[in-house]
Structure 1
Amino acid sequence: MITFPQISPEIFSVQLFGIEFALRWYAMAYVVGILIGWWLAVRVVRRARLWRNETPVMTSTQVEDLLTWIIIGVIAGGRLGYVLFYQPAYYLAHLIEIPMIWTGGMSFHGGFLGVCLAVFLFACKHGLVLWSVADMLALTTPPALLLGRTTNFINAELWGRQTDLPWGVAFPGDAAQACATAAGPCARHPSQLYEAGLEGLLLGTVLLVLAFGFGALKRPGLLTGLFFAGYGISRFAIEFVRQPDAHFVTEGNPLGLALESGGYGLTMGQLLSIPMIFVGLTLWAMSRPRQQ
């Protein structure tokens, strides 16, 4: 197995007036991911040749305005998604903890829905072509996914199931303690890095090549559909080697399946990914050019 590298989750921390303030890699990933997405979006709208009829979907100023809406959608949607999808009973009994995002607990699917709502409202307010706006965002999202999943690895969280493969990682803390059959440290799939590679690097590269090399932005909905389907398929597959949240795992359900029958079933991540795959394939089909 591979020994987990000694990387602190904190970049640095300072003490002010008896209170410790820390800058974490995870927070930095959010900030840098959003800035890269903003930078890429501005470059895309400034290249008229990439768009249908050489008319960009919005101006650079509107991209900056949309950024604020997206940040709110990511944070509010990510937190509420975690509360509703993963631990509704707990937060129903501890309502005051729902806004405490600094304690951890964010859902990608919730953040994704939050961004979808923010984009829909922004497009309606400014009279923009919804699917073209969505295509631009689909193109700019993978860098944030790449950075976010990499920092999940640094934080030693969202680790995978036990494995005897040579690249299995001996994660510290709860990951080691949760090994039911191991006498000592056990190896686990580095599922965070699998997701970083598939959802971030591979999917992002495909979308960029299609946008800049094959005119995909001229077909509204195409990149959005490919992003939906690409992320959904990647996440669905990785869920087979990703350890589910602890509250899903019981003595009678050691695999942590959210929908289970006879020892077979689907995890919560897979259940939430199926609609993404379906919507993605539908958008891809709708964006295909039709003969007159």
Structure 2
Amino acid sequence: MTLNDIYHAIDPVALSLGPLQIRWYGLAYVAGFICAFLVIAKLSQRWKIRIDDDAFFTVVFCVIFGVILGGRLGYVLVYGDGYYLQHPEKILAFNEGGMSFHGGLVGVIIGGVIAAKITKIPFLTLADMGVVGVPIGLFFGRCANFINGELWGAPTDMPWGVVFGGAAGTMPRHPSQLYEALLEGVVLFIILFALSRKTPARPRGTFFGTFLLFYGLFRFTIEFIRQPDAQIGYLLGTHWFTMGQALSIPLMVAGVVFLIYAWKTKKPQMGLPDSEISQP
């Protein structure tokens, strides 16, 4: 069975219960959140980061809210091409798809800052723990993009090309969603997980910087064979430079900045202050 056969054999709707449809895309978000928070819990134990249940669920709530709201608004503002100004009632129509990773990242950062203020755990400690689990969610999300037949790649004559149909036409295309699942998901997780094995934990900001640098690098690379969004196309009059690449450049720069900061300051990872730990 070829990859093209697999694509056409999978229904984007995982389960139908009367009028209710549960899609693989929604399940990918749920699975990603669960796995990410299991990683956070495990890292807090390995790194001996003090965090109680109240603080943990505060972080969980802020991150989930930031991902969903930031991802949606990022897509609306960057990729909407004016559509949502004419149809504002569609802005929160999550069931129709349309999420931006870069917007979700901004949302998570804002949510993380809020969680850090509430819990009094340093933001970079929360960020370092959180980003180790993020690639797992990215893996599930990119696989769901493939099942949905969205964010496809450029035409190809490779034997693993997929005919997505619809707006993608009838020519085989690169399954760029799966390339991203491999690089942004599997490879990036292996890098971060390997770094996280060291105890005591590496300096504050190490993992956040590593994530930003490698995600930006992987995304920039994949964009060369990923079809740009039809409403935006290529930028600066080129036939290769996309919005995804433009947004990935500052991520790589920020990643280097955080790595330099971590190397120079060597601040240890820290959890709740003793006075903030809930007593049974």
Structure 2 counterpart of 1:251: none
Please say if residues 146 and 196 of structure 1, whose CA atoms lie closer than 8 Å, have aligned partners that are also in contact: yes
Three-state SS of the structure 2 residue aligned to 1:188 is coil
Q: Displacement, 1:2? A: 4.8
Structure 1 counterpart of 2:23: 24
In structure 1, give the amino acid aligned to 2:175: P
Cα distance in structure 1, aligned partners of 2:219 and 2:111: 23
Cα distance in structure 1, aligned partners of 2:71 and 2:214: 20
Structure 2 counterpart of 1:207: 192
The answer to which of 214-223 and 69-78 deviates more is: 214-223
Q: Displacement, 1:172? A: 2.8
Structure 1 counterpart of 2:178: 193
What is the TM-score of this pair, normalised by structure 2? 0.89
In structure 1, give the amino acid aligned to 2:229: D
Cα distance in structure 1, aligned partners of 2:76 and 2:55: 32
In structure 2, give the amino acid aligned to 1:80: L
Structure with greater helix share of residues: 2
In structure 2, give the amino acid aligned to 1:288: W
Cα distance in structure 1, aligned partners of 2:221 and 2:215: 10
Q: Displacement, 1:3? A: 2.5
Task: Give unpaired runs (5+ residues) of structure 1.
Answer: 177-184, 249-255
Structure 1 counterpart of 2:226: 242
Three-state SS of the structure 2 residue aligned to 1:220 is coil
Say what the alpha-carbon RMSD is for the aligned residues: 1.8
Q: Displacement, 1:140? A: 1.3
Please say if residues 159 and 243 of structure 1, whose CA atoms lie closer than 8 Å, have aligned partners that are also in contact: yes
Cα distance in structure 2, aligned partners of 1:210 and 1:114: 25
Structure 1 counterpart of 2:13: 10
Three-state SS of the structure 2 residue aligned to 1:266 is coil
Please say if residues 151 and 176 of structure 2, whose CA atoms lie closer than 8 Å, have aligned partners that are also in contact: yes
Deviations 1:92-140 (A, max 9, x none): 1111211111111111111111010000111022221111111001111
Structure 2 counterpart of 1:124: 117
Change (3 A) 1:88 1:148: same
Three-state SS of the structure 1 residue aligned to 2:225 is coil
Please say if residues 9 and 155 of structure 1, whose CA atoms lie closer than 8 Å, have aligned partners that are also in contact: yes
Cα distance in structure 2, aligned partners of 1:43 and 1:61: 17
Higher normalized contact order (CA 8 Å, seq sep 6+, divided by chain length): 2
Please say if residues 62 and 114 of structure 2, whose CA atoms lie closer than 8 Å, have aligned partners that are also in contact: no
**How many residue pairs get matched?**
263
Cα distance in structure 2, aligned partners of 1:206 and 1:235: 16
Please say if residues 168 and 188 of structure 1, whose CA atoms lie closer than 8 Å, have aligned partners that are also in contact: yes
Cα distance in structure 2, aligned partners of 1:209 and 1:64: 26
Change (3 A) 1:12 1:275: same
Cα distance in structure 2, aligned partners of 1:115 and 1:57: 21
In structure 1, give the amino acid aligned to 2:178: L
Aligned pairs for 1:146-161 within 5 A:
146-161=139-154
